[in-house]
């Protein structure tokens, strides 16, 4: 079943790629069931000991039971994993949802003898009530046992329970007689990396909300936990800002290629109940050509032969209005995106336009920067990161910012290649 559910809508870039849960050498006594993609978990858990003993699973009357505490995320997961675990029952199957149990219409498959599994008990040691979000520190560990006494999933947090439910759905398989089976097994798992994410760039290529959701489903099925949303760039500004609505009105590809505030909330919530963080990226002072279409005084005017040549360069760091804009805009972003971190970019800044502008040249002299325009970039980034810190947010930046000497918080994240 797992192999049938690994298709991804599309991804423009995979960032911080991880094999998630260890490597093959950590597993013990592996017994391949049927073939490597049926009845076998992905990614390979830290500890996985299957058995050749097989139980039948009564899909029709199967119950997901919240044995200790319950919450909206867990109940949503029970509904979701009913279809992922037993896909042949079809979406037309109806179910009842009491406080802690999910039941389904009887499955009309053949009768089976021997030991039958008819429930999965989920035990959480932490309450998950309220609007909680996954974070860098989320505990995603879990233990899943399947034997003659039943199936039990234990986890400290709801985030670990989600990963365990995914594993359970992968372990259950359907035989040639349309009977669901599962091998007795013991699984103990926790992630090798706390950040396991993919990046989608929706500026250079608009991606529909439906496709983003499909991508989030695929991430959950691979136990990935960070959706890095590179939402705007030079090419387009599809994010609808309620503080500066002209940004998307003038810089989106078309009025139909815009993520409304409702769209953004919907995507963040869709990710949340799958244990996925949504981290937005708003790169500056470069990569901002589209910003200037909606905010005409934001970018630097480029000069040629002592006169404006009609083109624009990076954000103008020399005027106070720039920092007023940044303060107001990122206060909005901090309110809209609940994650602790925002990606602030800072890479690939061309100095040519700054060098051509006489006002920038005068500002450089005033600040005693000489002709070192990396100091001007440092000045801009320092002001920007101070604004982000004042909003009680952490930030992710590219290596150039550090290379240019910007003073950053000890919680700063800098993407680096990971060797698996």
What does residue 306 show for φ and ψ, rounded to 5 degrees? 80, 5
- Block residue for tokens 């954000």: 315
Burial zone of 190 (CB within 10 Å; 0-12 exposed, 13-18 middle, 19+ buried): middle
Task: With beta carbons less than 8 A apart as the criterion, state whether 47 and 192 touch.
Answer: no
Catalytic residue among 28, 262, 269, 348: 348
Cα distance between residue 252 and residue 303, in whole Å? 27
Which token pair is 120?
A: 């999965």
Cα distance between residue 105 and residue 100, in whole Å? 17
- Block residue for tokens 């139980």: 55
**348 given a catalytic annotation:** yes
Cα distance between residue 58 and residue 61, in whole Å? 6
Q: Compute, in degrees rounded to 10, the torsion defined by CA atoms 133, 387, 296, 265.
A: 10
Task: With beta carbons less than 8 A apart as the criterion, state whether 277 and 339 touch.
Answer: yes
Task: With beta carbons less than 8 A apart as the criterion, state whether 397 and 345 touch.
Answer: yes
Burial zone of 391 (CB within 10 Å; 0-12 exposed, 13-18 middle, 19+ buried): middle
Which token pair is 204?
A: 């250079």
User: Residues 6 or more apart from 15 whose CB is under 8 A from it?
Assistant: 197, 198, 199, 228, 415
Cα distance between residue 164 and residue 155, in whole Å? 8
Which token pair is 359?
A: 């006002």
* Catalytic residue annotation: 348
């Amino acid at each position: 079943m797992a192999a049938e559910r690994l298709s991804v809508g599309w991804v423009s870039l995979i960032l911080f790629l991880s094999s998630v849960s260890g490597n093959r050498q950590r597993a013990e006594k592996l017994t391949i069931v049927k073939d490597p993609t049926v009845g076998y978990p992905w990614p390979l858990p830290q500890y996985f000991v299957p058995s050749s003993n097989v139980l039948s699973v009564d899909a029709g009357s199967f119950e997901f039971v919240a044995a200790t505490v319950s919450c909206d995320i867990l109940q949503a997961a029970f509904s979701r994993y009913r279809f992922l675990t037993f896909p042949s029952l079809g979406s037309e199957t109806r179910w009842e949802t009491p406080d802690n149990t999910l039941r389904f219409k009887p499955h009309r498959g053949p009768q089976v003898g021997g030991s039958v599994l008819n429930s999965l008990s989920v035990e959480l040691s932490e309450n998950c009530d309220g609007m909680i979000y996954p974070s860098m520190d989320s505990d995603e560990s879990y233990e899943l046992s399947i034997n003659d006494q039943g199936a039990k999933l234990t986890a400290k947090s709801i985030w670990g329970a989600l990963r365990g439910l995914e594993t359970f759905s992968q372990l259950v398989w359907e035989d040639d007689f349309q009977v669901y089976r599962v091998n007795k097994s013991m699984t103990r798992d926790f992630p090798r990396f706390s950040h396991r994410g993919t990046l989608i760039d929706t500026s250079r290529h608009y991606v529909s909300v439906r496709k983003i959701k499909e991508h989030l489903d695929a991430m959950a099925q691979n136990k990935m936990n960070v959706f890095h949303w590179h939402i705007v760039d030079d090419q387009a500004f599809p994010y609808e800002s309620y503080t500066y609505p002209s940004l998307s009105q003038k810089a989106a590809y078309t009025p139909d290629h815009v993520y409304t505030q409702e769209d953004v909330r919907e995507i963040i919530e869709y990710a949340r109940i799958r244990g996925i963080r949504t981290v937005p990226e708003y790169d500056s002072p470069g990569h901002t050509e589209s910003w200037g279409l909606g905010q005409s005084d934001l970018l630097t005017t480029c000069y040629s032969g002592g006169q404006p040549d009609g083109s624009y360069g990076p954000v103008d760091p020399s005027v106070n209005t720039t920092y007023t804009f940044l303060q107001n805009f990122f206060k909005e972003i901090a309110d809209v995106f609940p994650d602790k971190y925002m990606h602030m970019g800072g890479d690939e800044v061309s100095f040519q336009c700054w060098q051509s502008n006489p006002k920038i040249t005068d500002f450089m002299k005033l600040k005693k920067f000489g002709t070192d325009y990396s100091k001007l970039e440092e000045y801009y980034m320092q002001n920007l990161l101070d604004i982000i810190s004042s909003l009680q947010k952490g930030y992710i930046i590219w290596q150039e910012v550090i290379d240019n000497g910007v003073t950053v918080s000890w919680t700063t994240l800098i993407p680096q290649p990971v060797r698996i």
